[in-house]
Structure 1
Amino acid sequence: MRKTMLTAALALGAAAAAIPAISPAFADEGRSAGAYHCRIAPGEVRLPAEAIRNTLQDLGYRVDRIKMDDGCYEARAMNDSGIPIEVRYHSVTGELVRAKLRS
């Protein structure tokens, strides 16, 4: 189910090329989906960045880079049509936090 949600969110981003930025943020109870959403508790184990890369590649994206930013993995990628995106994933759960088109 998570893969279906990720596919839908990324497909929405690709289809909305005319919109400067989208943000299908999956925030908890109305909270901002920024850095606050990616905080982790002591002892929680982060996913390896390679897991995020594999998720995006399985969805048909070519990953340019992945970095840790405010507790989230931030990735820049491009689909086969050349549409660049920027996505943020929770570093422990792998949940998509934000997706937007890059300019």
Structure 2
Amino acid sequence: MRKTLLTAALALGATAAALPTTAPAMAGEGRNAGLYHCRVAPGETRLPAEAIRRTLEELGYRVDRIRMDDGCYDARAVNDSRIPIEARYHPVTGELVRARLRS
């Protein structure tokens, strides 16, 4: 039992020791900075907005609007049950970055 507690304490101590080195790098970024921003390297080819529209329509959504915001595709859509969503997709990979219910 004592050995288990000591191992856990060492693991926590190692984690705590690593935190001060990462905190300064994150300090200037602000809350949620870059969290929903889609960075694209020069020369990367963006997907057409129609590809995002097709993806949502295949999932059963009717797309109201797709636009670029902070480098991401922002889509507003409604499903068959009339539940509105907002979805954010990476413009190169087409990966879903964020989805939430729209109010």
- Normalised by the length of structure 1, the TM-score is 0.67
**1:58-73 counterparts in 2 under 5 A?**
58-73=58-73
Count of residues paired in the alignment: 71
Aligned-pair distance for 1:33?
Answer: 2.9
Q: Which amino acid aligns with 1:66?
A: I
Structure with more helix by fraction: 2
Distance across 2 between alignment mates of 1:33 and 1:91: 15
Per the alignment, residue 44 of structure 2 pairs with 44
Q: 1:22-77 deviations in whole A, cap 9, x for unaligned? A: xxxxxxxxx85311xx1100000000000000000000000000000011000000
The runs of 4+ residues in structure 1 deviating greater than 3 Å are: none
Unaligned 5+ runs, structure 1: 1-30
Distance across 2 between alignment mates of 1:33 and 1:90: 12
Distance across 1 between alignment mates of 2:74 and 2:35: 13
Unaligned 5+ runs, structure 2: 1-32
User: How many percent identity over aligned positions?
Assistant: 76
**Whose relative contact order is higher, 1 or 2, with alpha carbons under 8 Å and at least 6 apart?**
1
Per the alignment, residue 94 of structure 1 pairs with 94
- Normalised by the length of structure 2, the TM-score is 0.67
